[in-house]
Structure 1
Amino acid sequence: MPPKFDRKLNQHGVKGAYYGGEWVDLEDCAGTFQPDSSKCSGCPTRATCPRSQSRNAASTLANKDTVYDVVIIGAGCIGTSIARELSRYALKTLLVESADDVSQGATKGNSGIVHAGYDDKPGSVRAKFCWPGNQMFPQLDRELRFGYQKNGSLVVATSTKELEVLEELMERGNINGVENLRIIQKEELFQMEPALNPDCIAALYAPDAGNVIPYEFAIALAENAVDNGVELRIRREVTAIAKKEDGCFEVDLRHWEPQDYVDVRKKMGKSIDGTESKEISLLSLVMRLCVSFPASIVVMEGLVRFGLLEPSSKDDTKMVMTIVAFISTALVLFLPGGKRHRGTSVLKDIVAKCPPPVGSGDDGKVTLKDMFQGGSGSKTVQHGATVALESVKAKYVINCAGSYSDQIARMIGDDSFYIKPRLGDYILLNRNQGHLAHSTIFPCPDPVLGKGVLVQQTLWGNLILGPTARDMHNKETRDMSNESIQEYILSKCKQLCPYFDAKEAIHGFCGARSKSSRGDWIIEPSSKDANFIHVAGIDSPGLAGSPAISLYVVELMQKAGLKMPPNINFNPNRAPIITPKVGLRGLKMGPPGKNDSDGKDEATMAKNVICKCEKVTELEVVRALRRSLPIDSTQGIRKRTRAGMGHCQGDAENYDCECRVRAIISRENGVSPEEVGGRPWPATSTLSQRWVYKDDMQKEGLEKRMNNN
């Protein structure tokens, strides 16, 4: 029997929240973690976005003459950090993403560590940005409220030889400017982390290291950037880039949508994309006349483009009259305090029409190429169909395309680097295992594989194990079986913390790291064109360095000649989506229909539990949908509210939260349930079944692989 460790650790959203790196009790959250919404960007919340784009992108789609100051390719933590930083300036900036949501690449598939910077080679680009970026996170979280915990990190030693490695790491950290590093001995170490391997004798302690949920970090950055004027288009694959005679880049985009969505729209007689339609051309003319109604312009175009408003006839005069008649409705929709009209269907009726979660471990994984373009949210995995070909003009382009960044570089004839992808696999354990670690715990680094596996409590209280470091140019690591991957992770992590229960695994995931052929980050103007900036090959600790990288990119843009007047309306503040809770206090649970609202009564929505495991309410789902980023799938809500991320993983036989979420999206977006995307399975998971807690054979297999050394 493992020993008992009598300690309870804080979990974000449970009796309080992490704010600016520190824990804030529930009674102190008002005014700090939960601010006055009138002081935050995008608040009060408004109606949902047009499909696959931010609200402010709609009018630009109709105007083919628009010239952007900057186009950013890639909406991971790097691209969104840069977008948010550029939103401080009065620029016309477009952020494009090939996947179906922001953060779908490497940002979604990593451990979320805000590294301190002691591991980076002195003089490297990594070393230049990691520690400065680390120091920016407390203030970023005070503004954006994505949840940041300064929990510290430990590199543990089990021998005198490894003690020498700790000394070397501390010296490296001192050279890199990392502060507060120290080596702690066994007694203090086990006071901090009693569940460590008893063989540990000392550790390098970095108190300034922290952790975030990486996709929530990127979502917060993107929301604030869009609230401050940046345009976003998702499901846009860059197919070509050319420099034109006027000195601008022409960036060609392929707009895709899931085939299931396309089929449903066609079946219903609704348009998929009206970019080239007569209605859009006419709308553009009307919009230019209605300059005093900018919000209604966005709405009108969205209504026609996506089939929510059909022309009354083919006669242009009647068409104009129809549009003008809707302007007053549009103003109500967007004015502060305005309410969107919704159908009278109750959620119970919509849930009944929702298809159940499907998929098993036999469905196959996403390919490496798919991971470069969004993994489970990529065009291939979503069976995407091209619905439009778009072209945008820009004075400057920033290449933040992650593992696809070398392909983007080739589009302008730049072959100065290539990406050597490295996959990192993880296993996520239930919240009841999170008490086994407070700090992020590393072994002494491997001279070849680097930092190695880690054991860490996530912000939400789970225990995360991993990652592997599988170089895809190495056949042996590329072709590892699921069982071999699990055995590697579990057995290695057991050497750090031997007391976790592998049978408490609830999820497995994987991320593709974009290691560059240069062996370091690439943050520089292209040798082919000074107005084309590479931010490429950003592997670990890229998340930690991302805020500092964005400041440097702004400097590069200024040196390249971009005039950057300040955005006098810039608002750095963003309200959180989640509401901290105390158990089920004030909440109501029951079958669909018992506690559901009509989408208008916030008091009812705030009590209605949609996801039992994570205690996600209807209001939190609605709040996410009415923000500034487009959401049309249960996966998008899952990343923002955690609905479906609990131990049952959205099991339809438990609380059916995925169908409940789908019903709310259907109601809020004014679409049929069939148009709402679901969570793909198994995507990059190493688990053979989605609902692990039901599968005794799989749980026993995990336990066996944990004990294989």
Structure 2
Amino acid sequence: MHHIDKDVTVIGGGVVGTSILRELSFYDLDTMLVEKHHDVCEGASKANSGIVHTGFDAPLNSVEAFCLEKSRVLWPKLVEKLKIPFLSCGAVMVATSEEEKELILAKYIPNAIANGVEVEWIEKDELFSYNPSLTDRAIGGLLIPGEGICDPFWTTRAHAEIAVLNGAEIKLGSGVSNIESSSDDDYFIITLDNGEKFSTKYIVNAAGLWADEIANLIGDYSFNLKPRKGQFILTEEVIEISQIILPVPTEKSKGLLVSPVVFGGFLLGPTAEDQEDKWDRDTTINGIRDIAHECSRLIPNVTDMDSIRQFAGLRAVCSTNDYVIRPSEVNQRMIHAAGIRSTGISASPGIAKLVVEQFAKIGVTMPPKEVIVEELPELLQQEKPGEIVCLCRSITKGEIENAFNRPFASFTLDGVKRRTGAMLGECQGNCCIPSIIEMINKAKPTKQEIYKGLQSSIVLKRGKK
């Protein structure tokens, strides 16, 4: 009889995959997550608005709306237990014409009420009392007090750390190249890009943009995913807003918003550009111009603001127009968690709960562990934080060293950035990168490359002539 290596393998280390792994780690199962990049949070989870949506505008009776409803109840405890940086600021959908006001009253308020989300129309005076920088064309807006902003890096990493503390395993730099079913159909054999093979009873397909390709490996062609690029601008200039500023959406996109950021500054975007290339996350001159132009409809002075960074993410647009969270029709031992387009961070706690329910539906026995870790350990353990390494964000040597000693550590520049906030400030790492590289080399001197992506390193050693 074949020895089966794992009970459940989660494919994909984004916020959805790590949230599922955290939830599974509370049960008496041997679980593992595989991720093709050299850290978690490398896909859509790192390039987004960081907004925790209520689901007020989610399509009625959709799987997305169901997961967002579940998540609204779960988020307050998550913020507390995982110590997630979070701003409970609320959002406002701004109407700049009577037509937009009528659309809000006729469509979005009834939709929100049907989804169980508290909203209210506020008049111009109240709107401007919260957000003085708004355009004079604003006539009022839909207040959604339950919306907030989180740190998406922290959220994803914290899920992974809790899972590891509960005994889960995470394999990085481990893309999946092949999946076979055993002769008796009792388990899968997964082959990784490096040729390594292992067996697993069940798979959770949370591979983001590549979830359709993972499904294809077992002959499941029930959905496909197309990338939609969203470009963003980050500015540290002052914008007098205290809420997330939303436009009235179009059919294609929720529109370009202006939002505070938990670690400082303001975010403008995203664009919505359909494309074929799942790797193309380049920013473009036209994209950046479009952001400034569209956002200036709501905040007029953004066109004159300096940006400290531009970036782009790709969201997965699914052929089903909804989340795909169910057992595969080809082999129910694979549970899909796919097609998560714009609300992945917001819905991730609910998605994880729903995935566990799918296991129960296919008859998997899941006894809970007697003792579990639910709370993230304190981030900074050192009594003496040491000198400041990142001047822009006042990040100390102790905080960076602590990142190397987390339950789930990373020895890459991006990994340090996402765990500490270093390199996120005005200079974008120009002043602190050399010191951080030196610290990485001391912490893990056998590491040959300091990764900043799949096929690149920021520093190349010059060989002897």
**Does the CA contact (< 8 Å) of 1:130 and 1:542 recur in 2?**
no
What is the Cα deviation at residue 561 of structure 1?
Answer: 2.0
Q: 1:223–1:628: 8 Å Cα contact kept in structure 2?
A: yes
- Give the deviation of 1:572 after TM superposition: 0.3
**Cα deviations by residue, 1:511-536 (Å, 9 ceiling, x for unpaired):** 11111111111111100011110111
Partner residue, 1:43: none
SS in 2 for 1:425: strand
CA–CA distance in 1 between the matches of 2:281 and 2:146? 37
Structure-1 residue corresponding to 2:134: 196
| Residue 421 of structure 1: how far off its partner (Å) | 1.2
Query: Alignment partner of 1:197: what SS?
Result: coil
- Match for residue 60 of structure 2 among 116, 122, 144: 122
- Structure 2: stretches of 5+ with no match in the other structure: 457-465
Which of the residues 424, 441, 448 maps onto 2:230?
424
Aligned counterpart, 2:153: 215
Distance of 2:10 and 2:453 partners within structure 1: 27
How do residues 270-419 of structure 1 correspond to structure 2 at under 5 angstroms?
Answer: 389-419=195-225
1:572 is paired with a residue of what secondary structure? coil
Paired amino acid for 2:450: G
Tell me if 1:664 matches 2:436: no
Match of 2:243 among 439, 447, 455: 439
Task: Output the amino acid matched with 2:333.
Answer: N
Tell me, in whole angstroms, the C-alpha distance in 2 between the residues paired with 1:65 and 1:662: 42
Contact 1:228–1:570 (CA under 8 A) maintained in structure 2: yes
Structure 2 residue corresponding to 1:547, chosen from 318, 331, 349: 349
Count of aligned positions? 451
**What's the % identity of the aligned pairs?**
34
- Give how far 1:642 is off: 1.4
Contact 2:226 2:316 in 1 (8 A): yes
Deviation of residue 245 (structure 1)? Answer: 2.5
Quote the residue 1:643 is aligned against. 422
Residue 481 and residue 457 in structure 1: after superposition, are their counterparts in 2 closer, same or farther (change >3 A)? closer
The one-letter code sitting in structure 1 at the alignment partner of 2:193 is: R
Write out per-residue CA displacement over residues 388-441 of structure 1, whole angstroms, 9 at most, x where no aligned residue.
x211111110000010001000000000111021111101112x43x5222111
Change (3 A) 1:107 1:495: same
Q: Give the residue type in structure 2 aligned to 1:459.
A: V
Distance 1:482 1:682, change over 3 A: farther
| CA contact 2:281–2:314 (8 Å) conserved in 1 | no
Match of 2:323 in 1: 521
* Counterpart residue identity of residue 626, structure 1: N
Q: SS of the counterpart of 1:232? A: strand
* 1:66 CA displacement: 4.8
Look up the equivalent residue of 1:420 and give its one-letter code. K
Distance in 2, Cα, partners of 1:425 & 1:409: 28
Residue type of the alignment partner of 2:311 = F
C-alpha contact (below 8 Å) 1:133/1:545 kept by paired residues = yes
Q: What are the within-5 Å matches in structure 2 for residues 259-270 of structure 1? A: none
Tell whether 2:305 aligns with 1:530. no
SS of 2:287's partner is: helix
Offset from partner CA, 1:115-156 (integer Å, 9 cap, x none): 111211111111111132133111101101121221111100
Of the three residues 106, 113, 119, the one matched with 1:174 is 113
Within a 5 Å distance, the mapping from 1:67-106 to structure 2 comes to 67-106=5-44
What SS does the aligned partner of 1:83 have?
helix
C-alpha spacing 1:643/1:411, structure 2 compared with 1 (3 Å) = same
1:436 is paired with a residue whose SS is coil
The question of whether the paired residues in 1 share the 8 Å contact of 2:403 and 2:409 is answered with no
Give me the whole-angstrom Cα distance separating, in 2, the residues matched to 1:148 and 1:130. Answer: 17
**Structure 2 CA distance, aligned partners of 1:640 and 1:519?**
34
Counterpart in the other structure of 2:187: 248
2-structure distance, mates of 1:130, 1:461: 26
Normalising by structure 2, we get a TM-score of 0.93
Paired amino acid for 1:608: E
Runs of 4+ in 1 over 6 A off after TM superposition: 478-481, 680-683
SS at match of 2:175: strand
**TM-score, scaled relative to structure 1:** 0.61
Deviation digits for residues 174-212 of structure 1 (CA, Å, limit 9, x no counterpart): 11111x210100011111111111110111111001111
Aligned counterpart, 2:404: 625
Q: Using a 3 Å threshold, how does the CA distance of structure 1 residues 73 and 479 change in structure 2: closer, same or farther?
A: closer
Contact 1:150–1:208, Cα closer than 8 Å, also in 2: yes
| Counterpart in the other structure of 1:462 | 265
Q: Is the alpha carbon distance of 1:120 and 1:603 closer, same or farther for their aligned partners in structure 2, counting shifts above 3 Å? A: closer
**Change in CA separation of 1:682 and 1:114 when aligned onto 2, cut-off 3 Å:** farther
CA RMSD of superposed structures (Å): 2.1
What secondary structure does 1:504 align onto? coil
Report the alpha carbon displacement of residue 471 of structure 1 after superposing the two structures with TM. 0.7
Structure 1: 5+ residue stretches without partners: 1-63, 256-388, 580-601, 684-709
Q: Does the 8 Å contact 1:577/1:641 carry over to 2?
A: no
1:104-115 correspondence to structure 2 within 5 Å: 104-115=42-53
1:359-400 deviation per Cα after TM superposition (whole angstroms, max 9, x unaligned): xxxxxxxxxxxxxxxxxxxxxxxxxxxxxx211111110000
Distance across 1 between alignment mates of 2:216 and 2:171: 22
Partner of 2:315, secondary structure, is strand
